[in-house]
Chains A and B, each alone.
Chain A
Amino acid sequence: MVKRTVVCGWALALVGAGCHPGSSDPRVNTALGVQSDTLASNIITRPIGDFISMMVGEGIEVRDVKERKTDAGFLEIQISGYNHSVARKLFDYKVEWLDADGMVVDTAMSRWIQMSAMPKSEFAFGAIAPHPRAVSWRINTRVNRNVQ
């Protein structure tokens, strides 16, 4: 009987680990500890969910890329995504701009920029081309170990 209860608890925690309710509007994200406790977030089952999240190596997912041209003819981009992890994700990104021939446009803006994505939250960052002749781009990322 005890065994069955433990197994059921684990199963429920596993199912609940991915859920993160707390707001009726997806634009409003309520963090753990701010929202009411759920099966996935209460003090007993949360460590299990955290452990699973860590074991499966949850990270960020890029969900949307937007582009537009400013009035002055500069290409502007916005990258939006979601951090699936139960931990804050710190990373650096670097945008490189390319001209119509695929040549990299040299700019001080092509530097590693810090980004922080809160646990189980949406995030977004943007960039603007250094010159109207920059018509394309590419982004690289790396783990940031220098930020607390």
Chain B
Amino acid sequence: MLNKVLPIAGLIAAVSLSGCGGPTQNIDVTNDPGKAVLELDYRDFDQAAAAMVQSLIQSGSLKKAGGGRYVVATGRIVNDTMQRIDTDQLMAKVEKDLLNSGMVVMTSAVGGKGASDEMIYQVRDIKKGDRQDEFDPNSMPATRQIIAPELSLSGKILQRNVRYDRSTQQVEYYFQLHLTDISSGLRFWQDEKIIGKRGSRSSVPW
């Protein structure tokens, strides 16, 4: 009797376990019809970046008087949400479009998180170090060559959780960016994009 029951029980267990998790699928990130989630996902960053770039180009703030291109640094982008966000998720898209617009040049030498490319300074440090003899001095960057930024793009991502009703919570995300003229300290442009979501109170958006 036990000989018959055990294989059947094993088969049932195997079948039920195999149905627990569906197969992994890649997301169609260009036309994703997936449901919204309470946390910030890539679609929210896409929407925020698109709105910000459109607003910034439309404002005309990037048109330099007398022609030429502004040198822009990405300043500090504060993550004031309950989620672990790398703010580059937003800024990489914004920077890419600003660069491609042909109106600005981004600098990698300074930024809110320090230089975005440490190699600028590593190569310069070689000139003062033990390994300086290994390099052709003519190929080393000269002093006073780095161009200082004229404009700084900085901002904040904020989160507010609001109780909507007994079973629903509302989560509001605010994407704020502003463009400041570094020499005068004057603000040339700023905008805010709000993304609001409602979902179960049992979900925790972080």
Contact = CB atoms under 8 A, between A and B. Distances in A.
Contact of A114 (B47, B53, B54, B102): B47
A130 B50 CA distance: 10
Given A109-B50, A113-B50, A114-B47, A70 B58 contact: yes
Interface in A108-144: 108-114, 127-128, 130-132, 142
B198 A148 contact: yes
Interface in B40-68: 43, 46-47, 49-51, 53-54, 57-58, 60, 62-63
A76 B100 contact: no
B103 A72 contact: yes
A142 B30 CA distance: 13
> Residue among A76, A108, A111, A114 with the most chain B CB within 10 A?
A108
Interface string A70-91: 1110101000000000000000
B60 A72 contact: yes
B150 interface: no
Contacts of A106: 100
B199 to A, nearest CB: 11
Interface in A51-72: 70-72
Contacts of B58: 70, 76, 128
Contact of B97 (A71, A109, A132, A147): A109
Contacts, number: 61
A128 B49 CA distance: 14
A71 B97 CA distance: 19
B57 A128 contact: yes
Contact of B101 (A114, A130, A146): A130
Given A72-B103, A108-B96, A112-B31, A130 B53 contact: yes
Contacts of A127: 54
A107 interface: yes
A76 B59 CA distance: 12
A66 to B, nearest CB: 14
Contacts of B128: none
A4 to B, nearest CB: 48
A145 B53 CA distance: 26
A113 to B, nearest CB: 6
B113 interface: no
A71 B94 CA distance: 21
Given A108-B53, A130-B57, A131-B101, 16 more contacts: A70-B58, A70-B60, A72-B63, A72-B103, A107-B53, A109-B53, A109-B54, A111-B46, A113-B51, A114-B47, A128-B54, A130-B97, A131-B102, A132-B102, A145-B33, A147-B36
5 contacts: A71-B60, A108-B49, A108-B53, A108-B97, A131-B101
